[in-house]
Amino acid sequence: MPHAPELDEDDLDAIAPPQPVFHVEQALLGALLLEPHRLDDVSGITADSFSTAAHTALYAAISTVPRPDPDEHAKNTKWLDRVLDAGREQARGLTASYLHTLVQVCPWPSHAPAYARMVEAEHARRRLLTAAERLVHTVHDVSLAHPVQTVLAEADALAAVVDDIANRFPPRSGVLPRTPAPPPALAPDHTEAVEEEQLLLATATARPDDIDSVRWLIPDDLTLPLHAGLWQCLTALARRSEAVDPVTVLWEAQQRGLLDAGSEPGEILRMLAEPAGSVEHWGERALQRSLLAKAERTGRRIEAYAGDPANTPFQLVVGARRALADIAAVRTRWQHATASLCCPPPRRRPAPATRAGPPTTTAAHAARSTRTTR
């Protein structure tokens, strides 16, 4: 039988010390073990609000085991024994010595409501972090049949968590998270995006009348600055009802300083001369990528806020709502872009055919007489 290695001092140093909320939970549980009636003063938390399985099981036991008579509780440990037995059903590692430790580390049992509020705040932070992580994970899930709809559903779930936290911790105006913005993620492979955007620009150049049908597409939706600038050129020419072709677009690009970045005029002309497909199709593809990118950045931003324990629930609510506003803006444009696909305009029913017959009204006789005299 192999001998299990013993931990040396270096190994012990590698074990992360408990977070402050762990000590807060101990103080709260110790207060409830000392004075069970304090449970009436505790609100806003459940067993799931605790950070460890042992604390979760113990709080559930305290909440469910009938409370003892105060005088009897002061004389013996019968109620504590029942709580321990109930807690062990969910966390077998609970011991009587740990309950004794909880009682010893509680500074003031009367402060139980304050401890509970701290536990609730930390639980809110963990919930927000989990919801943000789910959003980012969904954005990168390549197996989704309908990625936009699924990502928007996760964004709605994240917003619901934020609303729930706001109800528990009403935000204070002007209190923003102090957490710096997260660094950019690893640059994705934009090869497909670049090719599709080139097709969008070329097709719009060949069919400028179709540009008006994609008014929901904005330059920021395109991945490359050059492409964003060329789209501005196209929309400007179309809005002014001027001639649109590769040469006029190139000239407009020069007037806007797009060629200063080193773009070769010949390359731009070749790119704009190869249309394919439809403007609506390529525009929708670009908008989808933009929406998913916005969702990913929003999720990472909220992850950074929720991952910083220095942020209060008030700050988390304000910061998360501002981040979610970015998704709301692009969602509105996506709904405009796809409205004709999911909700096509109703087809006009043809008027019912009537059988020929002699006129039966005075107006009809008059109309017939008029035609006869012409």
Q: Give one DSSP letter per residue of 193-214, joined into a string.
A: HHHHHHHHHHHHHH-GGGGGGG
Answer whether residue 364 shows pLDDT above 80. Answer: no
Report the greatest alpha carbon distance in the chain: 119
pLDDT score of 56: 95
pLDDT score of 359: 45
Domains: count for the chain:
2
CA dihedral 347, 348, 351, 353 (to 10 degrees): -20
Closest CA relative to residue 60, chosen from 98, 88, 101: 88
Return d(Cα 57, Cα 62) in angstroms, integer.
Answer: 9
With bands split at pLDDT 50, 70 and 90, how would you rate the model's confidence at 319?
very high
Q: What angle do CA 200, 201, 206 make, to 5 degrees?
A: 100
CATH of the domain at 236: 1.10.860.10
Q: Show the DSSP H helices in 76-146 as ranges.
A: 78-88, 96-105, 112-139
Q: What would the mean pLDDT of 319-344 be, rounded to a whole number?
A: 85
Would you state the structure tokens that stand for residue 198, as one six-digit string?
A: 């080139």
Q: Give me the domain span that covers residue 243.
A: 123-178+190-342
Same domain membership, residue 89 and residue 134? no
pLDDT score of 187: 60
**Residue type, position 143, single letter:** S
For the stretch 22-76, pLDDT in tens is 999 999 999 999 999 999 999 899 999 999 999 999 999 999 999 998 888 888 8
pTM metric for this prediction: 0.80
- Would you say the C-alpha torsion 177, 180, 181, 182 has a positive or negative sign? negative
Same domain membership, residue 98 and residue 37? yes
For the stretch 1-12, pLDDT in tens is 444 445 444 443
Same domain membership, residue 216 and residue 79? no
Q: Are 244 and 238 in contact (CB under 8 A)?
A: yes
Query: What mean pLDDT, rounded, does the chain reach?
Result: 86
Q: Where are the beta strands (DSSP E) in 215-266?
A: none
